[in-house]
Amino acid sequence: MQVGELVKLAKWCKNGPELMQVRDVGFQHVKALFLGGPKLGSIVDVSKGNIFALEDYDEAMRKHYERR
């Protein structure tokens, strides 16, 4: 995951699924900017386990729900 990359918040998150843009990458968290929804324009810390590259999103959600 890199700064500037468009990502998507997981469906199971309070504000998910939502399009975001990576602003900073830390060890366990990513600072990401909401690009839509009620938090439009807000920058928040997101756990790396709750945010996925757009091309990986559908597969990540499928795997998550299969494990249940």
Taking a C-beta distance cutoff of 8 angstroms, is the pair 46, 9 a contact?
yes
Domain borders along the chain are: 6-66
| Residues 6 or more apart whose Cβ sits within 8 Å of residue 47 | 28, 29
Structure tokens at 38: 């009620």
- Assess if CATH 2.60.40 describes domain 6-66: no
- Block mean pLDDT (10 aa), the chain, length 68: 96 94 96 95 96 96 88
Looking at residue 12, its pLDDT comes to 93
**Separation of alpha carbons 8 and 22, rounded Å:** 10
Could you tell me the pTM of the whole model?
A: 0.89
